[in-house]
Amino acid sequence: MEEKREIPSMLRKFLAVDAYLTNAFVKWAEQVSLLRRLKAHNKTLDISCHSIAWLVTNLMLIWVFNNSNLYQMQVNLLIGLTLDIILVVTLKAITRRRRPTINGSLAPEKDSFPSGHSTRAAFITYFFLNLWPIPLICVPFLLAWSFSVCMSKLLVRKHHIIDILAGIILGIFQGLLIGYIYLKQETCASLVWWITDEKISGAEYDV
């Protein structure tokens, strides 16, 4: 059996306030038709920001496009997504905050803090705004997607407000960290060549 932890009274009160505000906010949001639609599209938004979907898609695109001009973006994004999984899993294991109850029952995935989808959405948004800027015309769609992912998690009561906010802060931190260690084009091309065992421009196979 999982050992029940003693939560300090101040923290317990803070979490209770967070749970109350989350419930109040969701009840209000459900009255707004635009926000209510996000709840209906929760599954699609969930998949669009799932860690495995992003990892697999990124790896597939490296192989399919095989474009050296994209290697720097793809490899650094891959490192960031991997870091995201490690940090979120570690923090969830440490904090072990339970998800909001739905009709008196707990959600199947029990750990709530931080929201992995919010963390990933924030990191991806930061990445494509600051590290590999996308065309300006695409920015509103990226921001709308990121907002929708975070908001949908609240509307389906999978997370509390603090879980979402902490996820956003963590995602931005990950973006800053990846920006600090951002690998150069040559390094990324060498890594792709090493992983795929493909010859890159200007390189020779050993004989």
Is 106 domain-assigned?
A: yes
Q: Which tens digit of pLDDT belongs to each residue from 65-123?
A: 888 888 889 999 999 999 999 999 999 888 877 877 654 434 456 777 888 899 999 99
Q: Report yes or no: 175 and 80 within 8 Å, Cβ to Cβ.
A: yes
Predicted TM-score (pTM) of the model is: 0.85
The CATH number assigned to the domain holding 20 equals: 1.20.144.10
Is 141 domain-assigned?
A: yes
In angstroms, rounded to a whole number, what is the distance separating the alpha carbons of residues 176 and 127? 9
Is 128 domain-assigned?
A: yes
Is 204 domain-assigned?
A: no
CA 87 to chain centre: 11
In angstroms, rounded to a whole number, what is the distance separating the alpha carbons of residues 64 and 58? 10
Q: Which tens digit of pLDDT belongs to each residue from 150-177?
A: 988 888 888 889 999 999 999 999 999 9
Domain that holds residue 69: 9-196
Tally of domains within the chain: 1
Is 77 domain-assigned?
A: yes
Is 207 domain-assigned?
A: no
In angstroms, rounded to a whole number, what is the distance separating the alpha carbons of residues 203 and 116? 39
In angstroms, rounded to a whole number, what is the distance separating the alpha carbons of residues 172 and 168? 6
Is 112 domain-assigned?
A: yes
Please name every residue paired with 102 in a beta bridge, in sequence order, or none if there are none.
105
